[in-house]
Amino acid sequence: MTRGGPARPLEPQGSRGPGLREDGGGVLFGRRALLEMVVDMKALITGGAGFIGSHLSELLLRSGHEVTVIDDLSTGSLSNLAPVLEHRQFEFVRDSVRNETVMAILVNQCDVVFHLAAAVGVGLIVKAPVRTLETNIHGTEVTLGLANKFRRKILIASTSEVYGKNSKVPFREDDDTVLGPTTFSRWSYACSKMVDEFLALAYHDQWGLPVVISRLFNTVGPRQTGQYGMVVPRFVQKALRGEEVEIYGTGKQSRCFTNVSDVVHALVKLMECPAANGEVVNIGSPEAITIEDLADKIIAMTHSKSAKRHLSYEEAYGRPFDDLQTRVPDLSKAGRLIGYKPGSTLTETLQTVIDYERTQPGK
């Protein structure tokens, strides 16, 4: 981030008015105006300008909570936050979660922390493994340390990638992880998120920090970008343009795609659930589909004339790639703790993405 002038501390909570400001930690947008307003919770969302974080921000604000987002916009976008930027109970800080000075102020001012900041997407992970490891491990290290210092409950967003190549499905939270060799950089993401989980659980076990870990399974919905390899928006964008839909590998690998609305509702419920402290919880959908069938379904739903084209992983990523053949969650723990059950079918979820992409420039 480029700062204008010397850094100075962020002002104490409640001293800022609405609008756009520059402070020592970054750029601030849309500060609440009615400071006397009573709210249930003041939430800090790291990586909140990303796809999931922006939907979580909207949900929390609709529920009457205050929300502060910190994001360096390296992969997130202010356009994702357009619906909430001027909300009187919303604040945006442009900076990195690795900036401990800024994070200390923000964590101190909040009641709970949703830690979503991470380097994600297969394309980004393969091309920038150092960034993946530094962002995911050090960013979580900073955030957990400050959550412990100020005794704030924290939710860590993890990933189904940690199950690796385990062939036992559905995946249960206490199943073994089976990762590939370190010579395949794609495993750096799974490894970094495992370290995050170990560190979070260590803080809970050693210091009693209230922590909950959510393992997310292929979250999709409006605003997700295809830029970093996310398959659903990439397929939808190609189909709407009538371009070839490129399938990496055989297309026989299967995934379970989860509606972002189901995910963010689950994250809030986990944060509110005392019994979830110290737990790892799968959040996803049990409805599996092969990537080949996904391409066919999207082409049909968009009434596209697109053809399909298979690419080897070497063609797609410029190097050998170790993929997972299947990924299905066991959702029984989420059901017990928060009554979780996916509320959207795959068809309904894909339709929200198609409708969104039709409104974007160039479609």
- Delineate the domains of the chain, giving CATH numbers in brackets: 118-358 (3.40.50.720)
Q: For position 338, what pLDDT does the model report?
A: 98
Who wins on pLDDT, 279 or 177?
Answer: 279
Who wins on pLDDT, 318 or 241?
Answer: 241
Q: For position 262, what pLDDT does the model report?
A: 98
Q: For position 124, what pLDDT does the model report?
A: 66
Who wins on pLDDT, 180 or 304?
Answer: 304
Q: For position 33, what pLDDT does the model report?
A: 30
Sign, CA dihedral 293-358-125-191, equals: negative
> What mean pLDDT comes out for the span 206-214?
98
Q: Give the confidence band of 301 by pLDDT, cuts at 50, 70, 90.
A: very high
> What mean pLDDT comes out for the span 39-65?
94
CB-based contact 276:337 (threshold 8 Å): yes
Nearest to 272 by CA among 122, 133, 181, 153: 153
> What mean pLDDT comes out for the span 190-209?
96
Q: Scanning the structure block, which residue is given the tokens 């409708």?
A: 355
Give tens-digit pLDDT for 338-361: 999 999 999 999 999 999 999 987
In this predicted structure, the answer to whether residue 325 has a pLDDT above a threshold of 50 is yes
Who wins on pLDDT, 130 or 231?
Answer: 231
Length of the chain: 363
Who wins on pLDDT, 1 or 167?
Answer: 167
Strands (E), the chain: 21-23, 26-29, 42-46, 66-71, 90-94, 112-115, 153-159, 211-216, 219-220, 245-248, 254-256, 258-259, 279-283, 288-290, 308-311
> What mean pLDDT comes out for the span 70-93?
95
Catalytic positions, written as ranges: 189
Cβ partners under 8 Å of residue 83, min gap 6: 54, 58
> What mean pLDDT comes out for the span 178-192?
83
In this predicted structure, the answer to whether residue 11 has a pLDDT above a threshold of 50 is no
Who wins on pLDDT, 179 or 333?
Answer: 333
> What mean pLDDT comes out for the span 63-89?
95
CA angle 270, 168, 311 (to 5 degrees): 95
In this predicted structure, the answer to whether residue 230 has a pLDDT above a threshold of 60 is yes
- How far apart, in whole angstroms, are the C-alpha atoms of residue 107 and residue 145? 10
| Arithmetic mean of pLDDT over the chain | 86
Identity of the residue numbered 145: G
Q: Give the confidence band of 220 by pLDDT, cuts at 50, 70, 90.
A: very high
In this predicted structure, the answer to whether residue 32 has a pLDDT above a threshold of 50 is no
In this predicted structure, the answer to whether residue 294 has a pLDDT above a threshold of 80 is yes
Q: For position 99, what pLDDT does the model report?
A: 96
